[in-house]
Structure 1
């Protein structure tokens, strides 16, 4: 299921890297047998020394870079003659070897990981999902061929698996916990949470969470700094892990309310804006997972020159019973009534809405993309629109501004438009009029910033580091860099709860 790095050069092929030795029986002009024996002795000594040195190098490499990883069995990614990758911008980190029940063991029952859908196709390929290999008539206008091996139908709640795979291959990883300054706990908490949403027995629903904390507290490295140098990555919103006795259930568990976990740093696709001091928003995964800088640049250049006949578009559907989603009804109404809006309405049987390439085609043809809150404040569509070079339009500050400070500029009007949902309604602001009032020059500058954000909000292919010796600073690289700063402040006694770190 998991990508594997190229196997190390075999012992037999190691001979190819050794200095060649002369054949003692060919073209020798020495007729004296004593001279011949002396030369043969030197040759034997040279061969023995060469083999000894080669064996010594292999043993050292296996000691520093053992072939067994913490939870995903892979082989060495580089051979002795490869360039050594450099860890830049982040502290060295260690990956805990958790018991399988906390991550890979959950995948054995992938058809039961989500009460709404079969997750087996989505957990494939390290969580990237199924490759997108076909090009239909509706997507031929996209600037990069969809037959590329870097395009996948990635599930929106699967970031924890992708991050795990990326970190397994990351150059900042160390296999020696005494050398680490960061410690990653590869718990697939989102997949577990969604598998027990309907579990009525709260003790049973929280059982794996309690087991995880017990495991961590038994680890020597956890107790050194009381978990302050440890971090989790969760593929679902923080609300799914913050159940309280006096609050609504919603199928959540208590993970983020436990004191030990509050000491840790938690990466999540949506943080709790008011109580999530140790939570840090990371991008929802979109469909593009480039293996190289060349692929990324090709996509960026293509969408930079994309024709955009639609002033704005909306990909989404209505929501019932949610006050924060009332803005959706207004957006749907205004979009239907505008000749400048392209609407892709989602709902049962809405095939185009669930076709990644069809959605991206609409966005690449739109100048602005409306991003309304739904079941929660944030949505994956925000990152689809950035990938498409479409300027996002927000109606709540918690859809992006209070969430993704690591990934987007502080100056919100440099890359987005904000229309307060309370100002958008009957007899109030018209979305079309607000967007029409933005000058073409300002719009182009905003689009340039949006396109420059693509690498930051994109998750590289887990094997990208095998293809290129450098990273282009993707979502995982940025998270590691920021986590390094946060841990430094926590341990040194600084302000560990700053959201803007």
Structure 2
């Protein structure tokens, strides 16, 4: 009996994987070899077909979050009457702002989704809660804020309030949330309510703190962090890149990021290597820009979760990323072959004394130039400000989920009872595969 009870989830998983692969194959491959190029297949989508309705959330979930952040840090002294006076703070999790701003533009063209203002016309419903910013609104010393007579912001209450508001909406209840899209880019964003929104399309940076029954590559989209350093404006070349390997960031991280401390110990005295401990600040970003722009390779170890923002800083710097993170998921892998732009090293090999440096010193100048040329090709995918960049690609990725969403909606409605001893594998989590050294 136990073996038989697990058969249905396994078959469901296999069926959905094959279905997802089929739709991706049909949408993006053709007999024309020119379409199999490394760059995006933009010509496949000539006009918007997927209709998105963006909820008009109560202000406290959008501009109110920005306002609370600014007040907590002294940027403004009191609530404002004009939302245009509010500026979303620069941080690595700003995808939520860029997507919100994009849907509010009147001059949107060549996007895979079009905004509709009648929910009856919508294929998907976008929930524009600034969940990552909400997570960090509280000032460093909330007690000081309380003594000044201000109400201390509470992210958990905001999450609960959002769900309470959603559950009153007919379109949320109609399809059990399958056709709703949430951005929760910070690994802890929406942590309190993620089980209640897990049916939806989650826009995340990785699956590090999400369960197998909450997130997967089949239904969700991996987002790049916003790069925090200036892009490199020059061409491919190694003449001005005298340093072999560069890293600047927090040395001490939790969970998978513990490899950083080991790498600091191993690489700290190696010739041609710059590895520095540094927190986020304007001065640190200037130093990181200089370091990445003058180095051949940039180290990308795991952070508290498998991904970290320095990968995307490296890409826009044309500094070849060296990825040391065994379970990392990467954005837009249907159009980007990361083997052409990065070196992958498994953690156990990377922490062997001398291994990493010997590996990188063997890379020829010609190979480094090949990496850099490919980095230039894909650089725009990681530029949120580029009209043909990150936001456009995110919406394309979201649009690809629609056939699966319709399948799950119809399947959900006809299922009367589920008797699975384990979670029904309606989605496939694939962040458990190993990583291997490639050059």
Taking structure 1 as the reference length, the TM-score comes to: 0.60
| Residue-pair matches, total | 342
Bigger-Rg structure (1/2): 1
Which residue of structure 1 lines up, in the alignment, with residue 29 of structure 2?
A: none
Which residue of structure 2 lines up, in the alignment, with residue 481 of structure 1?
A: 396
Which residue of structure 2 lines up, in the alignment, with residue 190 of structure 1?
A: 132
Deviation at residue 183 of structure 1 after TM alignment: 1.5
Q: Does 1:107 align with 2:40?
A: no
Which residue of structure 2 lines up, in the alignment, with residue 367 of structure 1?
A: 296
Alignment of 1:5-404 (within 5 A): 88=47, 91-111=50-70, 129=89, 154-169=90-105, 170-171=108-109, 172-195=114-137, 206-237=156-187, 239-242=188-191, 254-258=192-196, 261-272=197-208, 275=212, 276-277=215-216, 278-287=219-228, 302-305=234-237, 307-319=240-252, 322-347=254-279, 352-355=283-286, 358-398=287-327, 401-404=328-331
Contact 2:229–2:313 (8 Å) recurs in 1:
no
Alignment of 1:407-486 (within 5 A): 409=336, 411-425=337-351, 428-460=353-385, 471-472=387-388, 474-486=389-401
In 2, the alpha carbon distance for the partners of 1:124 and 1:118 equals 18
Instruction: Give CA-to-partner distance per residue, 1:394-421, whole Å, 9 cap, x none.
Output: 11133xx424244773x54222112222
Contact 1:308–1:367 (8 Å) recurs in 2:
yes
Deviation at residue 225 of structure 1 after TM alignment: 2.5
**Greater relative contact order (CA < 8 Å, ≥ 6 in sequence):** 2
Deviation at residue 430 of structure 1 after TM alignment: 2.6
Deviation at residue 443 of structure 1 after TM alignment: 2.3
Where has structure 1 moved over 4 Å in runs of 4 or more?
117-120, 123-129, 196-199, 405-408, 493-496
Deviation at residue 429 of structure 1 after TM alignment: 4.5
Cα gap change, 1:326/1:235 in structure 2, threshold over 3 Å: closer, same or farther?
A: closer
Cα gap change, 1:184/1:316 in structure 2, threshold over 3 Å: closer, same or farther?
A: same
Secondary structure (helix, strand or coil) at the match of 2:182 reads strand
In 2, the alpha carbon distance for the partners of 1:458 and 1:90 equals 24
Instruction: Give CA-to-partner distance per residue, 1:350-378, whole Å, 9 cap, x none.
Output: 864243xx322221211110011233322
Contact 1:407–1:456 (8 Å) recurs in 2:
no
Secondary structure (helix, strand or coil) at the match of 2:198 reads helix
Deviation at residue 476 of structure 1 after TM alignment: 1.6
Residue segments in structure 1 that go unaligned for 5+ positions in a row: 1-85, 130-153, 243-253, 290-298, 462-470
In 2, the alpha carbon distance for the partners of 1:287 and 1:324 equals 22
- Aligned CA-pair RMSD: 3.4
Deviation at residue 208 of structure 1 after TM alignment: 2.4
Deviates more, 1:174-183 or 1:476-485: 174-183
Secondary structure (helix, strand or coil) at the match of 2:221 reads strand
In 1, the alpha carbon distance for the partners of 2:402 and 2:164 equals 22
Deviation at residue 177 of structure 1 after TM alignment: 2.2
In 2, the alpha carbon distance for the partners of 1:431 and 1:285 equals 27
Which residue of structure 2 lines up, in the alignment, with residue 497 of structure 1?
A: 427
